[in-house]
Structure 1
């Protein structure tokens, strides 16, 4: 049953899976709640309220992007810098791919349909695979 979570908060982006939600607030902080079977939320139990996962200077949502998005096949990665490796996470927080800096194409073959988060340093973007 749907329910209100963190009333009054403004979320810049939200990605959800079967029982886990990851969301980035407009201030760039990353939050998560829901099932925590894999430990992605950093707590040993189910989280009914959002838990802070990453703080500090915040995540930068608009530093890089991927297209086409959503996709059935390879995506192009647009990144203004090549300072850090690219890491792809599923919504449980499990790392599913790691790519070297300056990679411009991501092959999605072998990945299940769903929402993924692609990170390069502190920059994060969402990728939908159909």
Structure 2
């Protein structure tokens, strides 16, 4: 059974869902660093601040659906600058302490709203 996930505590979406749950697996749409209250992009052009904002939004979506960071099995990170890998990895090492998952990092030419980073995850119970 497919369950569509949307919460007002994370950035709203247009024409797609924040997440879909199927058979105990949660698939999150790509998240950019939007403030869920204002729907504005994290003002700083700092990839670290943007990454933290995205992870906060992801955590809210997970928790509202009885998942947590420990349930993450796959993270795909998109960045406009592959040199930011070190900064993003530093944050992942702070946030995901003793949490195992697989991940990919992909450089792209552009992201929505000119964000520096976008993250999508798959979580499973």
Q: Give the TM-score, by structure 2 length.
A: 0.27
Max radius of gyration: which structure? 1
Quick check: which one's strand share is greater? Answer: 1
Q: Give the TM-score, by structure 1 length.
A: 0.26
Quick check: which one's helix share is greater? Answer: 2
